Amino acid sequence: MENLDIVVLRTLKAWREAGQRALLTTVVRTWGSSPRPVGSIMALCETGAVVGSVSGGCIEDDLIAQYSKANAITDSAPVRLKYGISADEAHRFGLPCGGTLELLLEFNPDAASLAELIAMLEKGLLTQRSTQLSTGFVTLKASDAPSDLHIDEHQLINTFGPEYRMLLIGAGQMTEYLATMALFNGFAVTVCDPRVEYRGAWSVAGVTVKHDMPDDLVVSFHPDRRSCVIALTHDPKLDDLALLAALETDAFYIGAIGSRRNNLLRQQRMIEHFDQTEESLARLRGPIGIYIGSKTPAEIAVSIMAEVLAVKNGVPLPRDMDVAHAKNTHEGPPIDPSAPVCFTGR
């Protein structure tokens, strides 16, 4: 499943190329609680078709009622709208108590400009889109770093990023669950497994499957700040070098499945055989996931996906949700690493 922004932009481009009138709506400000964050986009066609969202549905209904009428979408300058200013409006539009949001409506965006933006995103470029509020004229440029949406009396500047990417090492059952969740959360997913017996049973549509050695694929994958790398094989021959290669990149999340003991052994191997230190391994997560008492592959995948999303969204997790600390509290400290190794869930 593609990133929602890409879906909105592609659909809007198709409408405009077909000669249909349409508008692009962006959430530019919020006060109090609001259903969608700043930067969220929605496109509306003159037929009443909608893709994307700016609220829980009520504001979309109001926009459809206003702009799906004949000749309602004109070639005019962008318009700013506020919803939820009064208690009555908040109730009418289904906004949370005290919630207010401001939208910018751009009428009949240029199809060629939309195509250029989509092409830049497909190349993996972080792209800044600037809209002049007096004319609706749009300029695009590649950006070096993500930035918050900015709007003033002259222009709207919204930065669009390429898809978030997830590289999963190992094509086992848990990988199928995690890959499916990642797709639904807008990640482009690549699975790497050189073992033909595992790849042969792969069945998740929309996932790119590779047979390279994982460390080689990490290098060619070029993980950036919108990428995560997760090792799921329990096999040091496949996981260790790939994780070390990932630590040399800007990936926002790097982790490996396994018990507390497995994680300790992995760190010891990397320090003893690969000249790593505790400091150089600080970004390597393990055991991965948040502690929800999960045991089955599907439940463990839920815990991992939840942690990935928390890190992606910049939400700090309390220590009591961290697997290692939580299990120490509930089950006691880890056993000596020289003891037999067994797998435990989240």
Q: List the domain boundaries for the chain.
A: 4-160, 164-331
| 238 close to 218: Cβ distance less than 8 angstroms | no
Q: What stretches of the chain adopt beta strand conformation (E)?
A: 22-31, 41-45, 50-52, 79-83, 100-107, 127-132, 138-142, 150-151, 155-160, 164-169, 187-192, 208-210, 227-231, 253-256, 284-285
| 225 close to 163: Cβ distance less than 8 angstroms | no
**Which residues are paired to 168 by β-bridges?**
191, 230
| 35 close to 100: Cβ distance less than 8 angstroms | no
Closest among 278, 6, 283 to 124, alpha carbons compared: 6
Return the pLDDT at 122: 82
**At 57, phi and psi to the nearest 5?**
135, -30
Return the pLDDT at 343: 42
Closest among 213, 223, 164 to 192, alpha carbons compared: 213
Return the pLDDT at 229: 98
Return the pLDDT at 327: 63
Return the pLDDT at 90: 58
What whole-number distance in Å separates Cα of residue 76 and Cα of residue 268?
64
What whole-number distance in Å separates Cα of residue 140 and Cα of residue 144?
13
Q: For domain 164-331, which CATH number applies: 3.40.630.30, 3.40.50.300, 3.40.50.720, 3.40.1280.10? A: 3.40.50.720
Closest among 143, 16, 135, 154 to 76, alpha carbons compared: 135
Q: What is the pTM of this model?
A: 0.71
Q: In Å, how far are 43, 195, 338 from 47, measured between CA atoms?
A: 12, 50, 68
Sites in the chain below the pLDDT cut of 70 = 1-2, 33-35, 85-98, 319-346
Return the pLDDT at 22: 97
Residue ranges in 100-172 assigned as alpha helix (H): 111-122
User: Could you tell me how far CA 162 lies from the centroid of its own chain?
Assistant: 10
Return the pLDDT at 339: 55
pLDDT tens-digit map of 184-237 = 888 989 999 999 888 777 778 889 999 999 999 999 999 988 899 999 998 999
